A and B are shown apart, each in its own frame.
Chain A
Amino acid sequence: MKKIALAKIDSLLEAISKDMNLFAPVDNKSTVNYAEWKSGDVAVFDKMTVRSAKDAFFPQCENMSKFSRDQDNKIIIDKLETCDKDFVVMGVRGCDIKAIAVLDKVFLSEPVDTFYAARRDHSILISLSCSKPEETCFCTTFGIDPAQPKGDVEMYIVSDYAYFNTVTAKGEKLISSLNNLLENAKDSDIDSAKVATRDIMCKLPLHDVTTDGWGAGVLEEMFNRPEWEQLSSSCIGCGTCTYVCPTCQCYDIRDYNGSNGVTRYRCWDSCMKSDFTMMAHGNNRTTQLQRFRQRFMHKLVYSPANNDGEFSCVGCGRCVAKCPVSMNIVKVIKTMGGEKL
């Protein structure tokens, strides 16, 4: 266990970012979001980021290949390089750590997504024990322990110090390279912080949300529930929930036809959008009810069916905080879950 005074944490961030890109929650006037930390930026570890650490592995937009034509109009393909430099993602809370595991199941299953895989291979995760959860947090619903999320390095904030506990070889390498900035600490120094975190979680307004009634095997019953109509009626299909969601992974593939040939890129897409399933012969989800139902059924029924019961919601609460019409997954879980009649 190592520690550094919070007053000196910038020197640590400075040292990391000298050799590698460092993504950390950065104060951006009114909001906190993951960004590449640069000297002078203020890293914030006690506020929920607007978007998740997903961006570090699955960016909102990324180029995949380039197409050009030679003088005979033959197609030439240039595959763009995947990530080849180590980088650090710092301050990742338990919800977002779990979300990365959910994304891994999608992108690292065969056939492996090479862009995502390269970023995962080159990343060093510094998880953060959650000292200040938001009122919208409900990660414990999904069995997550926010007090001790698994990263390559675990980070704890206790009074005026940041503590670091190395977990993996990658993490060990990073922390040992920073040894001249860190002081030794006792493992027991963080015990009270863990207890405090677990205590706070029990007092949060959404702490009693349970997934009872949801999961694999309730497809037909849940799909046909009449409550979808009322629940979806306020949804304006803006897609905000899917963009702030740390596990939403739907994407689009498009071509940008520029003066230097064609760039094929992928970008986040949203099952909440009306043209998401539009194809030449029609659209199989024409109403917002169908699209709304698809999103929540996917997180709460289809994903568990494919992943040994694992939900693809991690209770980060971002969609709860950001939905412009105050509709969210908690209302869906509560309205239709619970004891069966």
Chain B
Amino acid sequence: MSNNANIAQEALIPHVAKIINVRSQTHDVKTFAVVSSDDGGVMFDHMPGQCAMVSIPGVGEAMFSITSSPTNTKFKEFSVKRCGILTEVMHSLVEGDEITVRGPYGKQFPVETEFKGENLLFIAGGIGIAPLRSVINYVRSNRDNYGVVDVLYGARSSSDLVEYEEMSKEWASDKDFNVHITIDRAEDGWEGNVGFVPTYLKELAFDNNRTAVICGPPIMIKFVLGGLIEMGFAKTQVYTTLELKMKCGIGKCGRCNIGSKYVCKDGPVFRCDEIDELPNEY
């Protein structure tokens, strides 16, 4: 019998979590739903944007954003792209297998403060939808607190779109909620938009009376931010996340240090004017 419940409070010591569902999203992205092995609960409360350290003991441990919304009180979800040693093994796991999870780490998106009452524009590329999905579903669950919501999401091809079912069916049918999806190159059978995210952003010509949240590959973030500035957005209206190597998650191991910030505890969520104060090393 393990005494996991007693030691869960200790920094760096994880919870044991059981995988209760695996959804294959694309050829290299799977979404794992997990619960506590001890009591079937969600292990800890989190807010949108926060992350957790996921591990397979003996293989490795890495930081992932929690893609499920805090309003999902049944399980936590992680969308994992196969791109390294740990994620390769994670992709072989099935329902019933166990992993370990510790967290939550980092700062949340200001859903209860700055975002409240605002029109929201979410812009994501590829696996970058994972952290934003948590915010988006939080907003959908607290719909009255926010204005019009637009989601602009792009991926290399239609088969690289993560959470396509959920966004095209559930999100798009919500009131005052618009979903714009694009893929990089034309494909047979694809009737949606074709083109890169920053290009599509300009074509959609959103007004700047809204708060924008960007997540995706660094190059996409750079051009999307440039586009938003051209459209009259101030950097104080735009939020994004930084991704740096992490080991401890609690601001001590030094890896994610950039300037006077530690991305694991001071981030990963930053307002774009805050990023300007950091050295250009991300």
A335 at the interface (CB under 8 A from B): no
**Minimum distance in angstroms from A262 CB to a CB of chain B:** 4
Cβ–Cβ contact A74 & B244, under 8 A: no
* A25-67 near B? 1/0 per residue, CB < 8 Å: 0000000000000000000000000000000000000001101
Chain A residues within an 8 Å CB radius of B84: 280
Q: Which residues of A contact B99 (CB under 8 A)?
A: 75
Is the beta-carbon distance between A107 and B247 smaller than 8 angstroms? no
A134 at the interface (CB under 8 A from B): no
Which A residues are in CB contact (< 8 Å) with B253? Answer: 250-253, 266, 269
Whether the pair B245, A65 counts as a contact (CB closer than 8 A) is no
Chain B at the A interface: mostly helix, strand, loop or mixed?
Answer: loop
Cβ-closest chain B residue relative to A282: B218
Complex: how many Å from CA A284 to CA B58? Answer: 26
| Among listed B12-20, B132-140, B166-174, B223-231, interface-contacting one | B12-20
With CB as the reference atom, state the residue of chain A lying closest to B4: A77
A77 to B279, Cβ gap below 8 A? no
Q: Residues of A contacting B100 with CB < 8 Å?
A: 67, 75, 77
- CA of A269 to CA of B14, assembled, Å: 22
Indicate whether B252 reaches chain A with its CB closer than 8 angstroms: yes
Q: Are B260 and A219 in contact (CB under 8 A)?
A: yes
Per-position contact with A for B3-39: 1 when CB-CB < 8 Å, else 0? 0100100111110100000000000000000000100
Within 8 A of B (CB), among A287-336: 290, 294, 297-298, 301-302, 305-306
With a CB–CB cut-off of 8 A, which chain B residues contact A107?
A: 252
For A302, the chain B residues whose CB sits under 8 A away are 257, 259-260
- Distance in angstroms between the alpha carbons of A251 and B251 in the assembled complex: 11
With A77-B16, A277-B244, A302-B260 known as contacts, the answer to whether A284 contacts B282 (CB < 8 A) is yes
Kindly identify which residue among A249, A264, A271 contacts B57, using a CB–CB cutoff of 8 Å: A264
Q: List, in ascending order, chain B residues with CB within 8 A of A109's CB.
A: 251
Query: In angstroms, how far is the closest chain B Cβ from the Cβ of A172?
Result: 32
Query: For A170, what are the chain B residues with a Cβ–Cβ distance below 8 Å?
Result: none
Q: Which residues A169-218 have CB closer than 8 A to chain B?
A: 216
Partner of B260, one of A250, A284, A290, A305: A305
**CB of B73 within 8 A of chain A?**
no
A67 to B13, CA, bound (A): 11
Closest A residue to B18 by CB, please name it: A74
B59 / chain A contacts, CB cutoff of 8 Å:
255
Give A89-124 interface residues, CB cut-off 8 Å to B. 106-107, 109, 111-114
Note all chain A residues with C-beta closer than 8 A to B11: 111-114
Assembly CA distance A276 to B144 (angstroms): 45
Which residues from B are CB-within-8-Å of A277?
244-245, 255
Closest residue of chain B to A114, judged by CB?
B10
Per-residue CB contact flags for chain A residues 72-83 toward chain B (1 = under 8 Å, else 0) read 011111010000
A337 to chain B, nearest CB (A): 18
Mark A225-267 against chain B: 1 for CB-CB distance below 8 A, else 0: 0000000000000000000000001111101010001101010
Q: A262 to B58, Cβ gap below 8 A?
A: yes
Q: How far is the CA of A257 from the CA of B58 in the complex (A)?
A: 5
Cα–Cα distance between A278 and B60 once the two chains are bound (Å): 14
| B247 & A64 in contact (Cβ 8 Å cutoff) | no
B281 and A290: CB pair below 8 A? yes
- The docked-state distance in angstroms from the alpha carbon of A211 to that of B182 is 53
Contact indicator B257/A281 (Cβ below 8 Å): no
A74 x B16 contact (CB < 8 A): yes
Measured between beta carbons, the chain B residues less than 8 angstroms from A269 are 247, 253-255
B239 to chain A, nearest CB (A): 20
Known: A219-B259, A251-B248, A302-B257. A262 touches B57 (CB 8 A): yes
User: Residue of A at shortest CB range from B7?
Assistant: A79
For A73, the chain B residues whose CB sits under 8 A away are 97-98
Decide if B245 touches A252 in the complex (CB within 8 Å).
no
Counting from the closest, the 10 A-B pairs by CB-CB distance are A250-B254, A67-B57, A305-B260, A262-B58, A111-B11, A257-B58, A279-B245, A280-B84, A280-B83, A262-B57
Q: List 20 A-B contacts (CB under 8 A).
A: A67-B57, A74-B37, A75-B37, A75-B98, A76-B2, A113-B252, A219-B277, A249-B252, A249-B254, A250-B254, A253-B12, A253-B248, A255-B59, A276-B245, A276-B255, A279-B244, A294-B281, A297-B279, A298-B254, A305-B260
